Amino acid sequence: MTRLFGTDGVRGLANKNLTAPLALRLGSAAAHVLTSDHSSSKRRPLAVIGRDPRVSGEMLAAALAAGMASRGVDVLRVGVLPTPAVAYLTDFYGADMGVVISASHNPMPDNGIKFFSKGGHKLPDSVEDEIEHTMGQLPETGPTGHGIGRVIEEATDAQKHYLEHLAQAMPRRLDGIKVVVDCANGAASEVTPRAYAAAGAEVIAIYNEPNAYNINDNCGSTHIEQVQQAVVEHGADLGLAHDGDADRCLAVDAEGNIVDGDQIMAILALAMKENGELRKSTLVATVMSNLGLRLAMDAAGITLRTTKVGDRYVLEDLNAGGFSLGGEQSGHIVMPDHGTTGDGTLTGLALMSRMAETGKPLKELAQAMTVLPQVLINVPVSDKTIIESHPSVVEAIAQAEGVLGSTGRVLLRASGTEELFRVMVEAADEEQARSIAADLAAVVAKV
């Protein structure tokens, strides 16, 4: 049986395979599992629900709230806010659980549901499995009368508290920095420009007018060409592009050159080491990070640890080892001292803070690492579970690795949210990387 939870919650086409009845059952089961240790408290369990602005979020939020309230949980709806804001507010309000309704960078028709435990932490696989199992075990009826939870619409102070948190996390002023921010017509549209302006930056916001249907539509971190063009047109010092739920951040320098998550991690790792903030001189990334990041960290005396793809796995390693910085090439950057999950707005503040601290332009800071040619091809497949072990794929990988030797690497992995298989090749020469990646993709497509 296919697991309901993927690498980042439950995702699907809204009202098709991610329906209101499913959300109702998910809410009930999650409430049962995540508030099971609340019996000793004198107050009723509390859940926080936030969402991005896509139209299906309204429907799914109502269903989730109903499911939770039916199990005796009070629900505080905080409206449209970034995923990291909901994680923070789950802890701030002392809630027993939090929920974000968002499909991140996916197109508007998709949506997703991800849960946080008490303190605003993402759930381990074992707890997600327990929730999934519980969905089929709960009786249809729950508490009655005074035992039914209340739904509070909506917390009017939620954005204010998140903005205060950001200001405290990054106190350095950004006066004199001109930034273009692409909000993806998503959850960042209001709060993120406000956060940057409050820190002193001159902010030019684009794609910051969500209408429930235009999230990620030719904008945001998956269409970075928009912010590249705007930075050059406005003569800005940099541009920042967020995704639909604003837990990731990519950047471009004043000339419009892309500064990806690996380069941002390199910049921040060096800054934190210099300031005595990089605990154990260690950076945590994923297997998708560019080989150039490892080389740069080696040269700086910083240990680079790698995990499976997914910021939840980066988080697990950060917490287990007591490290202070990690992230993904896609722009999910995690700083555990300031948040329990990746925070795109916080990342933007930290990056601009380093510019202000050094007086150096982003282009110069990004030279902290040399990006080796890396080619990624997404191959649509009918069954991604059989690809990696298929004999033809195993043989093709071995041949590719034999050609590359120690000058590059090959990585094949299934997407955690879509029916895709990702083929990634790194090499010293871009043409060679493209050729090998194309050959491998062709093999995968035939399986």
Give the mean pLDDT of the chain.
94
Q: Return the closest-CA partner of residue 80 out of 114, 50, 58.
A: 50
Q: Return the closest-CA partner of residue 249 out of 222, 287, 211.
A: 222
* pLDDT tens digits along 269-318: 999 999 999 999 999 999 989 988 998 999 999 999 999 888 888 999 99
Q: Where are the alpha helices (DSSP H) in 311-390?
A: 311-321, 344-358, 362-366
DSSP state, residue 373: P
Q: For residue 41, what pLDDT is reported?
A: 65
Q: Pull the structure tokens for residue 350.
A: 């930290």
CB atoms within 10 A of CB 375: 20
Q: Work out the pLDDT band at 428, boundaries 50, 70, 90.
A: confident
> What is d(CA 410, CA 424) in angstroms, rounded to the nearest whole number?
6
Q: Is 104 annotated as belonging to a binding site?
A: yes
Q: What is the model's pTM?
A: 0.89
Q: Return the closest-CA partner of residue 35 out of 97, 86, 94.
A: 97
* pLDDT tens digits along 169-224: 988 999 999 999 999 999 999 999 999 999 999 999 999 999 999 999 999 999 99
| CATH class of this structure's domain 10-156 | alpha beta
Strands 178-182 and 238-242: parallel
**CATH code reported for the domain at 374-446:** 3.30.310.50
Q: Work out the pLDDT band at 383, boundaries 50, 70, 90.
A: confident
Domain with CATH 3.40.120.10 in the chain: 10-156, 161-366
* pLDDT tens digits along 60-85: 999 999 999 999 999 999 999 999 99
- Looking at the annotation, which residues are catalytic? 104
> What is d(CA 366, CA 253) in angstroms, rounded to the nearest whole number?
9
Q: Return the closest-CA partner of residue 309 out of 420, 413, 440.
A: 413
Q: For residue 154, what pLDDT is reported?
A: 84
Which residue matches tokens 């799914």? 60
Q: Is 247 annotated as belonging to a binding site?
A: yes
Q: How far is CA 300 from the centre of its chain?
A: 27
Q: Pull the structure tokens for residue 299.
A: 């040269």
* pLDDT tens digits along 229-254: 999 999 999 999 999 999 999 999 99
Percentage of residues in the chain having pLDDT higher than 90: 85
Judge whether 101 and 60 are in contact, CB under 8 Å.
yes
Percentage of residues in the chain having pLDDT higher than 70: 99
Domain with CATH 3.30.310.50 in the chain: 374-446
Which residue matches tokens 């997404």? 378
Q: What angle do helix axes 158-169 and 83-92 make, rounded to 10 degrees?
A: 100
Q: State the CATH architecture for 161-366.
A: 3-Layer(aba) Sandwich (3.40)
Q: Is 337 annotated as belonging to a binding site?
A: no
Q: For residue 39, what pLDDT is reported?
A: 61
